[in-house]
Amino acid sequence: MFEPTESYAKRLDEQDEFASYKQEFYINDDQIYMDGNSLGLMSKRAEKTLLDVMEAWKTLGIDGWTKGEHPWFYLSESLGAKMANLVGAKAEEVVVTGSTTTNLHQLVSTFFKPEGMRTKILADELNFPSDIYAIKSQLQLHGLDPNEHLVRVKSRDGRTLQEDDIIEAMTDDIALIILPTVLYRSGQLLDIERITKAAREKGIPIGWDGCHSVGVIPHHFHDVGADFAYWCHYKYVNSGPGGVAGLFVHKRHFGIEPGLAGWFGSDKQKQFDMEHVFTPAEQAGAFQIGTPHVFSVAPLIGSLELFEEAGIKAIRQTSLHRTAYLMYLVNEYLDDFGFEIGNPKEDERRGGHVCLEHPEAASICKALKDRQITPDFRSPNVIRLAPVAFYVSYHDIYQTVMAIKDIMEQECYKQYKNERDVIA
């Protein structure tokens, strides 16, 4: 399928329909950026829309809430409608708001209703820590001991989860299920449709953390019947550090009272009535809490233009081809150096990054950074490499693998401490 030569990598780039998008992003000519699964690069369009919104503040003042090209009062809902295609939702089911963890708190507050023997939340032992922190604190707010009422599905291999194990854990005492679409270390993509169907058959509300999939994998949250989902935009969607997050609530739940009420969750026509009786919006906008972080959301306006042009299906196919090529080169050139590919090989089970495991992972990452190649380290032994469709070329992938090969052959990694920096 592939060839191991540099000339072949360059030939793939000549045929690549995404090649022209790289010039849309700020990246130095001598830099290779393989960390888009942690923080995406700035696009020129994101920069422009941020400046546009700042200009509106400068020229319109308070009238920017209702006037200008992007009125701030409606921005969360209008961007939610534009996001809907990326997550497979109705326009009214998505709103851009809050942070990932704030949105999780909101959604658990809304959908976790312990009653009778159903008092437990089902998660997994490989989930990102912030989700577990939030779930534990929500249980404690209900007077429940997380050691007893948080159930975490065990991994059989320390890398992945088995859907059978998840479904088996859906016992009669489970009141809510929270799972990641893609595991943040190994990059495993769970069978969202199968798991959601099983949860619905058992009458258990289920929500999905899409942080490591939204923007690189097409979703169908509405059609599969997920109760809710939440995600960030600063990874694959390239909205910038601290970019405002997003959430989905299935329309069958419209009208439900949000667990955490706030002024901006009001019906827009009644919000400025200033009544002390909360009248929630009839759509996903009800789950907003505070005032939109206008400057933090502004880059998303420009970033989404790129997704509208490229299409999430084409992005997914390109991502799969790039990750397959990366794994091929790893097997060709790094087989003798103790590396293991920790992510699933099958297309339908793989997210947008490759999980490369090695005992010296932290020091190898430091050696790569000194060569102007940006990887991502996750404790204890994972190098995450994300060949993002928009700005990582096939030649970039080839050069990255050859750099790792040289680092191992020359034992350059031994110059560095094999431990993470403050931020890994």
Helix or strand (DSSP H, E) at 79: helix 75-87
Q: How far apart are CA 257 and CA 344, in angstroms?
A: 40
Is residue 129 annotated as involved in ligand binding? yes
For residue 423, pLDDT over 80 is answered with no
- In DSSP terms, 280 is beta-bridged to 266
Q: Is 374 annotated as a binding residue?
A: no
The last residue of one of the domains, among 309, 338, 369, is 309
Interaxial angle between packed helices 294-310 and 75-87, expressed in degrees from 0 to 180 and rounded to the nearest 10: 40
422 within domain boundaries: no
Q: What is the pLDDT of residue 133?
A: 98
Question: Quick one: pLDDT at residue 424?
Answer: 76
Is 191 annotated in some ligand binding site? Answer: no
Does 143 share its domain with 109?
A: yes
Asked whether residue 1 carries a pLDDT value surpassing 90, the answer given is: no
- Note whether residue 21 is domain-resident: yes
**Interval 290-347: pLDDT, tens:** 999 999 999 999 999 999 999 999 999 999 999 999 999 999 999 999 999 999 999 9
Domain presence at residue 39: no
DSSP per-residue string spanning 347-389: GGGB-SSEEEE-TTHHHHHHHHHTTTEE-EEETTTEEEEB--T
Annotated binding residue 102: no
Instruction: Please write the tens of the pLDDT for every residue from 138-179.
Output: 999 999 999 999 999 999 999 999 999 999 999 999 999 999
Q: How many domains does the chain have?
A: 2
* 227 in a known ligand binding site: no
| Domain harbouring 206, CATH code | 3.40.640.10
Tell me the average pLDDT of the chain.
97
Q: Which residues pair with 386 in a beta bridge?
A: 35
Domain boundary residue among 287, 309, 331? 309
- 15's enclosing H/E stretch is helix 6-15
Poorest-confidence range of 17-26, 36-45, 227-236, 415-424? 415-424
Which of 272, 292, 309 delimits the end of a domain? 309
Same domain, 357 and 381: yes
Residues 205 and 291 occupy one common structural domain: yes
Reading the block at residue 199, the tokens are 């949860």
Q: Report pTM.
A: 0.96
In a domain, 383, yes or no: yes
Closest CA to 101 of 136, 77, 153, 75: 136
Burial pattern 139-167, b for ≥16 Cβ within 10 A else e, equals beeeebebeebbbebebeeebbbeeeebb
CA 181 to chain centre: 9
Residues 75 and 90 in one domain: yes
Q: How many CA atoms lie within 13 A of 73 on its CB side?
A: 13
Whether the pLDDT of residue 129 is over 90: the answer is yes
Q: Per the annotation, does 291 bind a ligand?
A: yes
* Mean pLDDT to the nearest integer, 114-124: 97
- Is 100 assigned to a binding site? yes
Check whether residue 131 and residue 222 sit in a common domain: yes
**Mean pLDDT calculated for residue range 7-19:** 97
- Residue 421 neighbours by CB distance under 10 Å: 11
Please tell me whether residues 115 and 264 are part of one structural domain. Answer: yes
Q: Is 151 helix (H, G, I), strand (E, B) or coil?
A: strand
Residue 267 is given by DSSP the state -
Q: Are 199 and 214 part of one and the same domain?
A: yes
Q: What angle (nearest 5°) sits at the alpha carbon of residue 81, between those of residues 219 and 58?
A: 130
Q: What is the pLDDT of residue 2?
A: 97
Asked whether the predicted pLDDT for residue 420 surpasses 90, the reply is no
What DSSP state is assigned to residue 257? Answer: P
Going by the DSSP 8-state scheme, the letter that residue 398 receives in this structure is H
Q: Does the annotation place 130 within a ligand binding site? A: yes
Amino acid 244: pLDDT: 98
pLDDT in tens, 21-32: 999 999 998 999
| 231 and 351 housed in the same domain | no
Q: Is 128 annotated as a binding residue?
A: yes
pLDDT in tens, 199-258: 999 999 999 999 999 999 999 999 999 999 999 999 999 999 999 999 999 999 999 999
Residues shown for the chain: 424
